[in-house]
Structure formats: C-alpha cells, structure tokens
C-alpha cells in the first residue's frame, strides 16, 4: 500500500476490523518510512454477472427480477417471502461460484425451477409453464408426469 504522504510502498497494519456487516475491512496502517498513519478499506470485488437472453441480447443479472418471477409463480400459495429470497440468494451464489462471467437465461430458469420444485409444486408448474412456454396440453401434461414420477421416486427413497 502506497503511503498517501510520502509515497513509500511499505507499511504495516496496526489495527484491522470488519465494518458494514463484515462486507468491508478497515485497516489502520503506519508508513515504515515517514511513520505517519493512514486508513485503508478493503472490499471484495465481485465480477458482474451478465445474462444472455433468448434473443442473444445481454443484460446485467438482477436478483430482484428473478425474485419477482418466483413471486408470481407463488401467488396465493403458502410460501414465505424469506424462502424465495434465500432461493434467489443460493441461485446467485451458484452462478457466481461457477466463475462464468456470462450465463444463459435458460440456466437461471432451470435453477429457479429446481428450487421451486422443492419449495412448492404448484409454483413449480406455474413457473415452468411460463418459462418453457408450453405450446399445447401434451407438453404441460408431460411436465406433470415428470413431477409425479419424481415424487414417487422420492417417496420410495424415503420409505
């Protein structure tokens, strides 16, 4: 860290403490040349996540947009907002941890459906019907059959 007073590049940390709910670290430093003290702040730099939409346009990832879609799917269902917020947080973390700077909207939709399947099956079907753009009754019925077969498999595992 360069000293703001003399420009020397070596300093020692005298005090270090988290601030802003541990989002940043405040460090009190002392220059090893002029011995003056100064404060620095350390922040984790996050790489912005870009969503590639179906029409190949790109836009920044917006967790609120994902939450709004999941809320619409859960309308009039007994699903607490906190559960959906946690699902969105997990999805965003999963995308950030993948180290890809760009992610297809289809991947986000699949992750949302995985979470909704475990949260509320009706919300899952609602979300899937919009996301997958079912063109006819048969494609909708196929999604229901898939959900039912997964339920049976889960019941057999739990038995």
Looking at per-residue pLDDT, the higher value among 151 and 122 belongs to: 122
DSSP secondary structure code for residue 23 in this structure: T
Residue spans per domain, the chain: 11-43, 50-158
Q: What is the pLDDT of residue 148?
A: 81
CA distance 108 to 55: 15
DSSP secondary structure code for residue 58 in this structure: E
Per DSSP bridges, beta strands 50-52 and 24-31 are unpaired
Q: What is the pLDDT of residue 96?
A: 86
Confidence of residue 136 (pLDDT cuts 50, 70, 90): confident
**For the chain, where are the E strands, in sequence order?**
11-19, 24-31, 37-43, 50-52, 58-60, 102-104
Q: What is the pLDDT of residue 58?
A: 95
Model confidence pTM above 0.85: no
């Amino acid at each position: 860290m360069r000293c703001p007073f003399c420009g020397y590049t070596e300093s020692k940390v005298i005090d270090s403490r988290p601030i802003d709910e541990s989002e940043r670290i405040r460090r009190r430093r002392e220059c090893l040349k002029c011995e003056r003290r100064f404060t620095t702040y350390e922040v984790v730099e996050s790489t912005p996540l870009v969503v590639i939409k179906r029409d190949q346009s790109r836009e920044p990832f917006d967790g609120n947009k994902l939450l709004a879609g999941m809320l619409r799917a859960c309308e009039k269902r007994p699903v607490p907002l906190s559960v959906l917020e946690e699902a969105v947080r997990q999805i965003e973390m999963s995308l950030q941890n993948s180290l890809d700077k760009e992610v297809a909207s289809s991947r986000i939709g699949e992750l949302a459906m995985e979470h909704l399947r475990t949260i509320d099956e009706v919300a899952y079907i609602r979300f899937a019907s919009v996301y997958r753009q079912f063109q006819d009754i048969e494609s909708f019925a196929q999604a229901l059959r898939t959900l039912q077969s997964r339920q049976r498999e889960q019941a057999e595992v739990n038995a």
